[in-house]
Amino acid sequence: MTRVLLTGANGFIGRPLFERLLDEGFQTNMAVRSISVQDKAPSCVCTLIGEIDSVTPWDQALANIDVVIHLAARVHITNESAADSLAEFRKVNVDGTVNLARQAAQMGVRRFVFISSIKVNGENTEFGRPFTPEDIPAPTDAYGISKREAEDALRLLASETGMEVVIIRPPIVYGPGVKANFQTLMRCLARSIPLPLGAINNQRSLVALDNLVDLILTCIDHPKAANQTFLVSDNDDISTTRLLLLLADALGKKAFLLPIPENAIKKIAVLIGKKQMAQKLCGSLQVDISKTLNLLDWKPPIKIEQALLKTARAFKDNR
């Protein structure tokens, strides 16, 4: 059985991934900052790791490991306080990743699965022209830039050492426990707050947590995944308006969506300093996952309606 090291095992993606690894019988070593998740699997090896940077020692966690799944990262921070945010992202997402990967290669790890971000491709797409894995990267924020630099460094390391590298770039991930804007939308719908989003004709690719976890597991041993970059989604692009209607239905609520024209929303957003928020709600971001589907003979195991219902139930249970 393949022996796996999972970093970020107690995060939003890491927790369900860890449980699936155990269910599938993988021998799993968790690298975490706290030991709380070990309560779920007392027999599982758990290695406490401090700060992840260019000097973090990984030898204990990497002992007898075949595949590393690297989830741990410095993620987007809404109220960034660092004077040089790109430098802070690079410490963890570039230097920390390369340090782990280099030590993994030295210890004979066969494959390194890196969870990157669609932000490597860019922030938005023209309607009907989705991102592909072959597109020239065009990240615009510090997080996306750091993920692109980590990808480039991993590919170089793979060519030098022979360790296989698999890169997965997810868009917005949703599921039980989701936070940020997705959680905010659910709160508004649950409180029957009217939203000016009843006439949004964009298209966005999302990925359910269960679908992303399933793809990651597929990439652990699939021979055709070696040294490839994959995009992932539910394979069912959706407008903001349709998303809100489905979410409201999953919450057992009626959505009060005002049909305000997109241009008016964008103009108002600029005036109140919410331009980026308007772009996320009104703009398109589509991904083409045909390579993922065809090369890996994979398909998302859960439909978007099922995934939204599961997300909504968890939200209601924790209110």
Length of the chain: 319
Question: What is the spatial distance between Cα 160 and Cα 105, in angstroms, rounded to a whole number?
Answer: 10
82-to-213, 274, 275 alpha-carbon distances in Å: 32, 21, 22
Burial 174-187 (b: 16+ CB within 10 A, else e): bbbbbeeebeebbe
Name the catalytic one among 143, 182, 230, 315.
143
Cβ-proximal residues to 63 (8 Å cutoff; 6+ apart), any chain: 107
Catalytic, 174? Answer no
Cα first-last separation, the chain: 40
Residue 76: closest CA among 85, 66, 65: 85
Question: What is the spatial distance between Cα 211 and Cα 208, in angstroms, rounded to a whole number?
Answer: 5
β partners of residue 67? 4, 111
Question: What is the spatial distance between Cα 212 and Cα 235, in angstroms, rounded to a whole number?
Answer: 12
Long-range CB contact pairs, 245-249, < 8 A, 24+: 246/304, 246/305, 246/308, 247/185, 247/186, 247/189, 247/308, 247/311, 247/312, 248/189
Catalytic positions are 143
